[in-house]
Every structure is written in C-alpha cells, then in structure tokens.
Amino acid sequence: GNSVTQMEGPVTLSEEAFLTINCTYTATGYPSLFWYVQYPGEGLQLLLKATKADDKGSNKGFEATYRKETTSFHLEKGSVQVSDSAVYFCALSDRFPSGYSTLTFGKGTMLLVSP
Amino acid sequence: EPEVTQTPSHQVTQMGQEVILRCVPISNHLYFYWYRQILGQKVEFLVSFYNNEISEKSEIFDDQFSVERPDGSNFTLKIRSTKLEDSAMYFCASRTGTGGSEAFFGQGTRLTVV
C-alpha cells in the first residue's frame, strides 16, 4: 500500500537558517505529492504540490522537487522566519482502480524557528 | 475566501455515547473526506464521499462510523458508541475533483472521550 515517511521532529532553527525536511514515499501508481502546513490552532493548508516526476512545487519561499528515482519530495527553504513555525505534513494522492483518490499523510514534522 | 468549517472545535463525550461531528464543505466542491489524527500520530484517512455515497473507506471506518450529507451544505460524521481510542482530532476536507486537485481542510474538531 501507499506510505509516506518524514523525518522526526522537532526541527529547531534560528531565523534565516536553511531548512530541509525530508520526505520519502511508497506508492503503487503515479501519485501526486503535496506538502501541507498546520499553523498553531489552525487547519491543514496546502503549501505546495507536484503532480509528476521532476516537477518542482514552490510557494512562500518553500520548494520541493518530485524525484521519482529516489521516491522523495524533500521540502526546502533558503531562509526561515519565525512565522514559519508550524507542523509540516508530506502527503501523496494516488488513484484507486475505482477512479477515486485520497491522501496518505506522513506523521508531520514540527518546525520551531527562534529569533 | 471560501473555507471548510467544522463544528464544534472541541467535544468532550463519555465512553459509549454517540457524537456527531459537523462540517460545511466549500459550496462548489463535489468530493468530501474525513481524516483523523490521534495525538502524536499520522493523519489517517477515514472515508471519502461522492455523489451521496461512500466512495472509499479505510479499515478504521467500521460499523461504528457513518457519514451523511443531510442537506446541500452539511457533511456529518457520526460515531455511534464512542471508545477511548476514538479520541483524536477529526478533519473534514473537500475538493472539486479527483487526482491532483487540492483538498481544502477545516480547522478540525478535537474529540475527547472520557
């Protein structure tokens, strides 16, 4: 079945540091890949996505590249801010034979950025 | 900006009681989902709903769970007889189509079973 593995958190960084959160996946088909973010007290928000191999998703300074050969979708940001402190979830969407699809999530990685 | 809304934000219930978690998806969306996240664990898929019927469900979604879209706006998750292990954050989501289209999530309902 499908699965997503993320690095354990919390990740603690100083403002302006470089961020990498690793994500690898297992899927039977050709999934779409997502990063969702959950700020304190809020719901899950889509941060970025990539729908096919070698696509790069980007938003708010965050980037992730769909690497089929390594089954990875690592999240990066060149310079984090205190406001980036949140929980980040890697997810994939795969299509069932029925045609319907659903999301499979990783455990989430908490990012804490200090001034 | 349209959003998915969930009520209540926090529900405390006694073991064995029935609970109904409510969601109002975004109005032009066609696919609806419930996920849950037990504290410290993964966000897990429970069920998807399309065209007024369940389209997929996970092993977690047993006979104690049911979903309903009683009118044109609400989407509810009912747990018939709650257990301690049902304590979790429950997220509702909706989207326009299948495949790579974005799912929009609500803020979640924290269910505590005592």
Q: Residue A19: what pLDDT?
A: 97
What's the DSSP call for residue B99?
A: T
pLDDT digits (tens, 9 = 90+) for A94-109: 765 555 567 889 989 9
Q: Which residue of A has its CA nearest to B6?
A: A43
pLDDT digits (tens, 9 = 90+) for B30-80: 889 999 999 878 889 999 998 899 988 999 999 999 999 988 789 999 999
Q: Sign of torsion, CA B1 A88 A73 A21?
A: positive
Q: Residue B98: what pLDDT?
A: 54
Please state, for a pLDDT cut of 70, what percent of chain B lies above it: 96
Q: How far is CA A115 from CA A9, A77, B45, in A?
A: 19, 16, 36
Q: Residue A99: what pLDDT?
A: 53
Mutation for B interface: A89, A102, A103, A107, most B CBs within 10 A: A102
Backbone angles phi, psi at B21, to 5 degrees: -100, 135
pLDDT digits (tens, 9 = 90+) for A39-74: 887 888 999 999 889 999 999 999 999 999 999 999
Tell me the nearest-neighbour CA distance from B56 into chain A, angstroms.
8
The reply to whether residue B99 touches residue A101, judged by beta carbons under 8 angstroms, is yes
By Cβ distance, the residue of B44, B55, B106 closest to A43 is B106
